[in-house]
Amino acid sequence: MGTHLGSKFIKLYNGYLLPSVGLGTYQLFGDSVREVVDKAIFLGYRHIDTAHSYNNESEIGEILKSRVDSGSIKRRDIFLTTKLPAVLHEPRDVLYCIEESRARLKTKYLDLVLIHNPWTLKPTDSKGGLQFVQFNLQKTWHSLETFVKEGSVKSIGLSNFTIGQIQNILEGCSIMPANLQLECHAYLQQRSLQDFCKARGITLTAYSPLGAHGRPERHRFTDQPVLLDDPALDSLAQAHDKTKAQILLGWLIQRGFCVVPKSKSDDRLAENFDIFDVNLNESELAQIQAMDRGIRYFKFKNMTGHPEFKPTEDF
Ligand SMILES: NC(=O)c1ccc[n+]([C@@H]2O[C@H](COP(=O)([O-])OP(=O)(O)OC[C@H]3O[C@@H](n4cnc5c(N)ncnc54)[C@H](OP(=O)(O)O)[C@@H]3O)[C@@H](O)[C@H]2O)c1
């Protein structure tokens, strides 16, 4: 079987087109996120990945609105993904969150809303104290479905869910999840989740596709190698006249994933978007497949003990 070039869009089961390269915006705030989003749009990015908890929806909304108002882009050409946080799973909170996100992003509709995590939390005080809560996310899902039916959300999906947790949603849903966002890169290839989702028409978005080497301290563990430093990538980069980052992203696109790399540098933003011509042959694909080591950079260790936190399963 031959290999194929990655596509610029991934078609969701409901017909909407998800641009294969999106802009990750975790840890980008204030003027920095304004500049990065503006530059990314200029470079051709049409998919922005944010979350209620990233505290940057307002700035993203400002830039998009000014670009739409000036006529340089059309709202319908932008794909906006945001995520429902673990503290807002109750139906009344879902309503609040969707309205907030729409207001901050200055948009009539959201293209994709994901349940950010399968674990539900309850604030216990105003200083950030949180309590673990057992909650059936079918209820959260049903509230999300009402927004799809009424038109303010186009597609809904999940993030950091295991196969069992996705199955729970599938059993109770009237609208199927369109997308699963999960940590995925050469060190954590997520093949069982990919097979499961593919068989059910659920598309996949790889977060931390470059190995998240700028992640916060609380997510750093001493035994974790830096993906971009792996020498196995050198010869592939040389052979394709691409950077190691471009090989990692191009490989995911070739596997049919959407990717959402984050960068605050103009050059790296351009680099991360210039990947559609990466075409790895069978032996090169096998070389990257052999890099899988089950290394998860976002371990969510602070969820240990939560009934919905399943660190021994793929998610
Ligand atoms: N659903 C979830 O729970 C979840 C969790 C984590 C992340 N995400 C999403 O996924 C996005 C991406 O993940 P991430 O930010 O964790 O990690 P990432 O995109 O894998 O890596 C970002 C890091 O790589 C650097 N970088 C970017 N392009 C590069 C290049 N071409 N060459 C070398 N280094 C490069 C960035 O530094 P510079 O900025 O200096 O370029 C930054 O330190 C997030 O922004 C967020 O939107 C979702």
**Residue-wise pLDDT tens digits, 140-193:** 999 999 999 999 999 999 999 999 999 999 999 999 999 999 999 999 999 999
Our mutation pick for probing the ligand 1 site, out of 29, 158, 208, counting the most ligand atoms within 8 A of Cβ, is 208
Q: Rounded distance, CA 193 to CA 188, Å? A: 11
Q: Mean pLDDT, to the nearest integer, of 287-294? A: 97
**The domain 9-236+258-303 is classified under which CATH number: 3.40.50.11740, 2.130.10.10, 1.10.10.10, 3.20.20.100?**
3.20.20.100
Q: What pLDDT, on the 0 to 100 scale, is given for residue 102?
A: 98
Q: Rounded distance, CA 238 to CA 162, Å? A: 36
d(CA 139, ligand 1 centre) in Å? 31
Q: Closest Cα partner for 268 from 93, 63, 28, 6? A: 28
Cα separation values, 156 from 16, 20, 50, 118, 201, Å: 12, 17, 14, 14, 13
Minimum CA distance residue for ligand 1 atom 47: 24
The separation between CA 15 and the C-alpha centre of its own chain, rounded to angstroms, equals 19
d(CA 185, ligand 1 centre) in Å? 11
For residue 26, give the ligand 1 atom closest to its CA: 45
d(CA 66, ligand 1 centre) in Å? 25
Q: Mean pLDDT, to the nearest integer, of 14-24? A: 98
Q: What pLDDT, on the 0 to 100 scale, is given for residue 121?
A: 98
- 177 near 204, Cβ under 8 Å? no
Q: Rounded distance, CA 4 to CA 9, Å? A: 14
Q: Is the pLDDT reported for residue 2 higher than 60?
A: no
CB-based pocket (< 6 A), ligand 1 = 24-26, 49, 116, 159-160, 181, 207-215, 228, 245, 260-265, 268, 271-272, 298
Q: What pLDDT, on the 0 to 100 scale, is given for residue 199?
A: 98
Q: Mean pLDDT, to the nearest integer, of 281-290? A: 98
d(CA 260, ligand 1 centre) in Å? 7
Q: Is the pLDDT reported for residue 307 higher than 80?
A: yes
**pTM of whole model > 0.75?**
yes
Our mutation pick for probing the ligand 1 site, out of 37, 52, 184, 210, counting the most ligand atoms within 8 A of Cβ, is 210
pLDDT in tens, 26-59: 999 999 999 999 999 999 999 999 999 999 999 9
- 64 near 108, Cβ under 8 Å? no
Our mutation pick for probing the ligand 1 site, out of 21, 23, 25, 26, counting the most ligand atoms within 8 A of Cβ, is 26
Catalytic residue at 54?
yes
- Looking at residue 86, the DSSP 8-state letter turns out to be T
Q: Classify burial at 140, counting beta carbons within 10 Å of its beta carbon; exposed 0-12, middle 13-18, buried 19 or more.
A: buried
Q: Rounded distance, CA 260 to CA 48, Å? A: 8
Q: What are phi and psi of 115, to 5 degrees?
A: -75, 115
pLDDT in tens, 185-221: 999 999 999 999 999 999 999 999 999 999 998 898 8
- 145 near 169, Cβ under 8 Å? no
Minimum CA distance residue for ligand 1 atom 11: 24
What would the two tokens of residue 253 be?
């696109």
What would the two tokens of residue 233 be?
């990538």
Q: Mean pLDDT, to the nearest integer, of 91-104? A: 97
**In sequence order, which residues have a C-beta less than 8 Å from that of residue 195 and are 6 or more positions away?**
none
Q: What pLDDT, on the 0 to 100 scale, is given for residue 1?
A: 42
Q: Mean pLDDT, to the nearest integer, of 293-311? A: 96
- Please pick, among 13, 16, 26, 54, the residue that the annotation labels catalytic: 54
Q: What pLDDT, on the 0 to 100 scale, is given for residue 221?
A: 87
Minimum CA distance residue for ligand 1 atom 31: 268
Q: What pLDDT, on the 0 to 100 scale, is given for residue 227?
A: 98
The pLDDT confidence band at residue 5, using thresholds 50, 70 and 90, is low
Mean pLDDT score of the chain, rounded to an integer? 96
Q: Closest Cα partner for 20 from 278, 313, 302, 294? A: 278
Length of the chain: 315
Q: Rounded distance, CA 282 to CA 288, Å? A: 10
Q: What pLDDT, on the 0 to 100 scale, is given for residue 141?
A: 98
